[in-house]
A and B are shown apart, each in its own frame.
Chain A
Amino acid sequence: MQLFKKLTVINFIGLRKLALIFSIALLAASTYSLSTQGLNYGIDFSGGTKLELAYQQDVSVLDMRATLASSGYPEAVVQHFGSNKDVLIRIPLSPENSDAKVSDDVVKILAASEVGPGAVRSVEFVGPTFGKELFEKGILALVYALIGVMIYVAFRFEWKFSLGSVVALIHDVVITVGLFSILQLEFTLPVLAALLAVIGYSLNDTIVVFDRIRENFRKLRETDTEDTMNVSINQTLPRTILTSLTTLLVLVALFFYGGDALSGFAATLIIGVLIGTYSSIFVASPTVLMLGATAEDLLVEVVEKEGVDQPEHPYTP
């Protein structure tokens, strides 16, 4: 089965103004949401205690909340997850409740109350300074990943391409994080890890297009940058779509079957893959074009390679 029987001839680069408006709108919405309502940080970053308890019988979250409120935890959030037998309790950091003993205390209080003892399925505690530290480290990781990528692409291609790919990556990360802010999805450590994977993925897509542009600069007599980019994007389009599809397939499997622990991770990557696919077509190359890249930029020290002797591609713009 082939996606397109013939090579597509879509003028992607011609659509760059439209794409620019679209991207700017998304970026604006993201930054607006990030600056006004911010992110819904999970305890990895905000610090605090989170525990999951499993009971043999249905339990009332209202009763449990009341019990905890009267025992020194008025800020406790108690909710069901999965079934009425399972509860998730979150206790934010406060001057009184800022150490790892909170979870033990909560388990004891509940065991002594009417609901009785439940099985502890999981406990997570992150101390006040440590949450901040994890966040800072995460942001640093993102920055280092971007710098590493920039250096590699500058080395393998040229600085305009390097800048183009990083613009596309920042675009992807900001919009993905922005969506987390707009939808107020929980921003956790696995989500941050997924963001780094998004960088890897989106870049993968962009590199494939750049590689083709370089090849075509060398191969085609036509040296008009815009046309070459268009040819290259069209040539790689089936691959771009197919790989995105296979990746999305596994991510959907992960989202639905991987459980709560991985759903945020999968969601980030699903958003990221979609945005990343879009950006590798509509953001990366147009940015390089706007920076004024020409065939000469990549042909400076070209040694005649095998490809040059090969029959010319049927595409004639």
Chain B
Amino acid sequence: MNKNPTWKYLVLLLIVAFGVIYATPNLYQAEPGVQVIGLRNAVVDTNTLERAKRVLETAGVEVKQITLENGKIRARLTSEEAQNTARDVLREKLDDSFAVAATDLPTTPGWLESLGGAPMYLGLDLRGGVHFLMQVDMVAAEKKANDNYYEDIRKLLREEGIRYTGINRQENGAIFLRFKTEELQEQANAAVTTANPELVATTREDNGSFTMQLQLTESAISEIKKAALKKNMLALRNRIDQLGVSEPVIQQQGLDRIVVQLPGVKDPSVAKEILGKTATLQVHLVDEDNTASTVTGRVPSGSKRFYYRDGRPILLQKRILFSGDNIIDASVSIDENGGPAVSITLDSKGANVNSDVTGDNIGNRMAVVYVETLGETKIDSKGNARLVTKEIREVITAPVIRDQLGKRFIINGLDGQNEAKDLSLLLRAGSLAAPVFIIEERTVGPSLGADNIEKGFTSVLYGFLLVLLFMIVFYRVFGLVASFALVLNLVIIVAVLSLLQATLTLPGVAGMVLTVGMAVDANVLIFERIREEIQAGAAPQMSIHRGYDNAFSTIIDANLTTLIAALVLFNFGTGPIQGFAITLSIGIATSMVTAIFVSRILINLFYGGRRLDSLSI
């Protein structure tokens, strides 16, 4: 009785092999390194590799290995100082089109890697870094779209020669038009809806005047929101690449949120500054005909009063010639007086407009307006929070056009070198389609991350040893078997986490600790059953057999219910908490295998198939 068939040993062997192979990569410590990737259209090739090699050699950095793979250069270095030096010299010597990031490279041996082995993926609370949850201001995205339609429709009706007696924007974003005759109303309806099928027109006759209300369809609005989110994610990705972060995570969450995780970033303020900025540029012509009314007085309908940074007013034509969206490249430079400047390259559309307008307006002035949306959450008297956005429009420069311009030009009048740097970065990376606000931040410094790993490891170890001791004292030989099962359980949890590359967080480590405590429950259930059978007078072999049999359904019931709680936790939790749910769920599943299946094989191996007078339990 209680003998193992050979296949059980094979399965056990497979389980152990699986656990050991996939847990092993965690024993190899990551080594410091740097990584170079290409931005925008820049390609990292063998030339770049040679350049990087030379740069590192000149700087006297000892390089263990440097490779070019999947368009990334990765250099393995000997120390953290070497890592810092390497990053700094590469950033300085390679041009703006490459991003250099310090990164820790795994040292998993090739044979393990070829089996898909990799160390566990550590969450930010363990490796250090910045986590932001950003809310995209969809109200602003919708408003921006409506603003564009307003301008487009005015332009369209003007071009088609359809006269209207009034046009205005309504609270809900709809555009409201008034016509003299039904015929004009019909013409406008046809023209507008043909050009913009995503608009729905509602026409009406009202006391002799004919009105038309234009509204975006639900699906168009949802498309606009989707597009805004997508564009924002792209802009954020570009900005992050510029910052030089290795392995950033940029993920959509829900319909209007973006999760940004920047491992290894030590100073969250820089990241916050750059990621949240909605700064862009708009270029207008100066209204030279009405200079008299610049300071006070009536502003003519095609113009608008703007202000310089120092508060001086200036009258600009409303029409935007081109904006940040037309800029394809920007870099820091200096103007003829040695002041900070940004050199701009326009796309073809922007370049055409620029060349036409400047050609026609030599001697007039062209103004560059800096536009930034600032968002703040305000709490009203009832304690409710709401988003308040404020748009800042400042004229940074308004030079006289001396020549016809084209694709390239320079903007000066900036407030120092740092502003030139930030502005050029933002223009390069592309603007946000709608403002974003950080609604959650969790930053863990590198020292705290290391501390957390150590503390997590210590508590797993101590908890583990205490439970082993406890089991051996209470159940002797059976306790030893349970201990082996527990060790194997922990190895398998680590192996599964490594294989799935699920994020291990500090609460995840807590989940492991808890699993260690609860995993022995299955063994306790079985062993207590065996004891009961012995007390009832059953023979030892029979007791083992019945003990395992009787406890089985209880173990399944008990573990499945815990799994329900863990799954709910996974669905509702955020980042770190999900980490807890993951390790708990994996732990529950693996503990059933080790505590029932593996322990039975060992008990059978030890006691099976012979006459027994008593059991060491």
Binding site for B on A (CB under 8 A): 1-2, 6-7, 52, 54, 93-95, 98-101, 103-104, 107, 119-130, 134, 137-138, 140-141, 144-145, 148-149, 152-153, 156, 189-190, 192-193, 196-197, 199-201, 203-204, 207-208, 211-212, 215, 235-236, 238-239, 242-243, 245-251, 253-254, 256-259, 261-262, 265-266, 269, 306-307, 310-311, 313-314
Whether the Cβ atoms of A250 and B467 lie closer than 8 Å is yes
B584 interfacial by beta-carbon distance below 8 Å? yes
Docked complex Cα distance between A32 and B268 (Å) = 42
- Of the stretches B214-222, B322-330, B376-384, the one at the interface is B376-384
Whether the Cβ atoms of B554 and A208 lie closer than 8 Å is yes
Which one of B267, B470, B525, B562 lies within 8 Å of A246 (CB-CB)? B470
Whether A257 touches B459, Cβ cut-off 8 Å, given contacts A103-B268, A140-B572, A197-B584, is yes
Whether the Cβ atoms of A95 and B514 lie closer than 8 Å is no
Report B423-454 residues with CB < 8 Å from chain A CB: 437-445, 447-448, 451-452
Docked complex Cα distance between A9 and B558 (Å) = 25
Question: Can you offer 23 A-B residue contacts whose CB atoms are under 8 A?
Answer: A2-B474, A94-B379, A100-B437, A127-B437, A128-B379, A128-B385, A141-B571, A145-B565, A145-B569, A190-B507, A196-B565, A197-B565, A197-B584, A199-B565, A204-B559, A243-B518, A246-B517, A250-B516, A253-B459, A257-B459, A262-B510, A306-B549, A314-B537
B177 interfacial by beta-carbon distance below 8 Å? no
Q: Of B135, B514, B550, B580, which is in contact with the most chain A CB atoms at under 10 Å from its CB?
A: B514
B528 interfacial by beta-carbon distance below 8 Å? yes
Residue of B nearest to A52 (CB): B448
Whether the Cβ atoms of B572 and A141 lie closer than 8 Å is yes
Residue of A nearest to B462 (CB): A253
**Distance (Å) between the CB of B505 and the closest chain A CB?**
10
Docked complex Cα distance between A196 and B569 (Å) = 7
Whether the Cβ atoms of B565 and A127 lie closer than 8 Å is no
**Distance (Å) between the CB of B464 and the closest chain A CB?**
8
Q: Count A-B contacts at CB 8 Å.
A: 267
Whether the Cβ atoms of B440 and A251 lie closer than 8 Å is no
Which one of A104, A119, A204, A251 lies within 8 Å of B272 (CB-CB)? A104
Residues of A within 8 A of B474 (CB): 1-2, 242
Residues of B within 8 A of A153 (CB): 561
User: 3 closest Cβ contacts across the A-B interface?
Assistant: A128-B385, A250-B463, A200-B565
B310 interfacial by beta-carbon distance below 8 Å? no
Report B555-589 residues with CB < 8 Å from chain A CB: 557-569, 571-574, 576-577, 580-581, 584
Whether A189 touches B554, Cβ cut-off 8 Å, given contacts A128-B385, A149-B565, A253-B463, is no
Main secondary structure of the interface of A (DSSP, over half): helix
Which one of A144, A211, A242 lies within 8 Å of B572 (CB-CB)? A144
Which one of B451, B463, B524, B553 lies within 8 Å of A259 (CB-CB)? B451
Counting contact residues on chain B (CB < 8 A from A), the size range is 35 or more
**Distance (Å) between the CB of A274 and the closest chain B CB?**
14
Residue of B nearest to A104 (CB): B269
Whether A200 touches B377, Cβ cut-off 8 Å, given contacts A243-B518, A251-B514, is no
Docked complex Cα distance between A128 and B376 (Å) = 11
**Given A99-B377, A257-B459, A269-B514, 12 more contacts at CB 8 Å?**
A98-B379, A119-B447, A120-B443, A122-B444, A124-B442, A126-B439, A134-B574, A193-B507, A211-B553, A211-B557, A239-B521, A246-B520
B532 interfacial by beta-carbon distance below 8 Å? yes
B32 interfacial by beta-carbon distance below 8 Å? no
B82 interfacial by beta-carbon distance below 8 Å? no
Residues of A within 8 A of B466 (CB): 249-250, 253
Whether the Cβ atoms of B445 and A156 lie closer than 8 Å is no
Whether the Cβ atoms of B379 and A235 lie closer than 8 Å is no
Docked complex Cα distance between A138 and B568 (Å) = 10
Residues of B within 8 A of A103 (CB): 268-269, 441, 443
